[in-house]
Amino acid sequence: MKPDASYHRALFSLALPMMVQFLFTNGLALVDAMLVGQLGDTAVAAVGLAGQVLFLLNLLYFGLSSGSGIFIAQFWGRQDVDSIRRVFGLNLIANALLGVAFTILAQVAPVQILGLLTRDMQVIAQGSAYLRVASWGYTFFGISAAIYMMLRSTENVKVPMLGGAIALSFNTLLGYCLIFGRLGLPELGTRGAAVAFVFSRALEVGIAAAIISLRAPYNHIRPIFAPGAEILRRYTATTLPVAINELAWALGITTYTAIYAHIGTESVTATSITASVENLVFVPFLALGNATAILVGKKIGAGDPEMAYAYGQRSLTINIFVALTVSALLMIFKGPILDVYRISDAARANAHALLTAMAFALLFKTSNFGFIVGVLRAGGDTRFAMFMEFCTMWLWGVPAAFIAANLLHLPVYYVILFVYSEEIIKFTLTLRRFRSRRWVHHLAIPAASESA
């Protein structure tokens, strides 16, 4: 059984708005960083290190919301709106509680948190002031993440795109005014960036809440706060591995960064540039993977696992074609990309080699994302995804990078090859799992089986 033309229309109607939103988010985040960059090295370091708290929190939000999206897409396939509301309620409560916990931690111990990352007291002082203010927006951020995941999983992707664009544009404008004291507003420096973050997140929640309060099937409150024991059990069993997966991945990325830092300053500069380029390059694959997850989950929920498999197969084929195209473009334009940066010759040489390595590894890395987020998680196969990612990173990738950097004393571009070898192993395992069809799990539960 092969997908017809309607599948491609559905896939790209979901993927394109997501891609615009991801591009807009990354672009405005870069603008925000450039604004703070005008305040000097200490301000950049302070906001950057304080941002690591939000980075970790955001990954946990992504894990919890992705778990919610798995269920919602399958329930959407059987048009079980009541169960969608119940799962959304669980995600909303979990994200809100997590946001409150991180806010309390940031209010009580900002100095201790930043002291784990640096010994520079000036950085700690500025970062603590930023963290105390910005943390008031954490819960808003979690609530909007839950709402947007529900909207996307029910194939409503334009609203998150527009809502996110408005909020992030507001964040940039208000941040500029408060950082530098423009349009009659006080000059607050880094604290101005934090205030802008809080108000933009609050605005985003207001927009999202207004939408779901006016639109069916989202605007019935009672089931949101009465999930039922069976949905609670299955939600926890499916979502917890996703959250653990994201946490383990974040710690792994932090470990890789520490390994690169021990090689030398030029290595840190080169890997930072490569990471920023990769964030932009990865945007179409983020959109494609998330769109695939919605359509695959919907077919599983509708009781058509064979078509779900065919959907996954077609999306992965598209992913390969796009990856090869982007890799070729990256090889052509890596020189002009590096011309934008004012860096040493050694750092440029390292970055040039890293971008070459990234171009060759892109096929495996993006395919793995498509397999894991677009197919395995959509099918509820979160435990396998968790164990597979944990093992390939922590039993192979991290030890291999450590040995290459600290025992063999190889240059950073060779160390990165050891890191990318993890993706080849992961690709082999995920392809085998995909072909086995054992990733298909029917998570949709008849609403009648749930108590109100």
Instruction: Look at residue 216 and give its three-state secondary structure.
Output: coil
Domain boundary among 184, 200, 227: 227
Supply the range of the domain harboring residue 44: 1-227
Tell me whether residue 423 is in a domain.
yes
CA distance 352 to 83: 50
CA distance 191 to 47: 9
pLDDT tens digits, one per residue of 384-418: 988 898 899 999 999 999 999 888 888 888 888 88
Domain boundary among 203, 227, 251: 227
Output the pLDDT for position 27: 62
The pTM (predicted TM-score) of the whole model is 0.75
Residue 30 has pLDDT above 90, yes or no: no
Instruction: Look at residue 215 and give its three-state secondary structure.
Output: coil
Query: 253, 41, 58: which is closest to 149 by C-alpha?
Result: 58
CA distances to 156, 286, 296 from 304, in Å: 22, 25, 9
Tell me whether residue 449 is in a domain.
no
Residue 35 sits in the same domain as residue 141:
yes
List of E strands, 268-324: none
Label residue 281 by pLDDT band (50, 70, 90).
confident
Q: Which two tokens stand for residue 230?
A: 């069976």
Residue 379 sits in the same domain as residue 312:
yes
Q: How many structural domains comprise the chain?
A: 2
Residue 216 sits in the same domain as residue 295:
no
Contact 132, 105 (CB under 8 A): no
Residue 5 sits in the same domain as residue 136:
yes
Residue 4 sits in the same domain as residue 131:
yes
ω into 217 cis (within 30 of 0): yes
Cα R_g (the chain), whole angstroms: 22
Instruction: Look at residue 218 and give its three-state secondary structure.
Output: coil
Tell me whether residue 234 is in a domain.
no
CA distance 130 to 377: 36
Residue 311 sits in the same domain as residue 223:
no
Residue 371 has pLDDT above 70, yes or no: yes
**Residue 83 burial (CB count, 10 A):** 27
More confident residue, 200 or 43: 200
Residue 45 sits in the same domain as residue 100:
yes
Residue 223 sits in the same domain as residue 293:
no
Residue 448 has pLDDT above 50, yes or no: no
Where do we find the tokens 């007291």?
121
Q: Which of 153-157, 241-245, 307-311, 321-325 has the highest mean pLDDT?
A: 321-325
Instruction: Look at residue 386 and give its three-state secondary structure.
Output: helix
Half-sphere exposure of 360 (CA within 13 A, CB side): 12
Domain boundary among 204, 227, 250: 227
Residue 162 sits in the same domain as residue 187:
yes
Label residue 215 by pLDDT band (50, 70, 90).
low
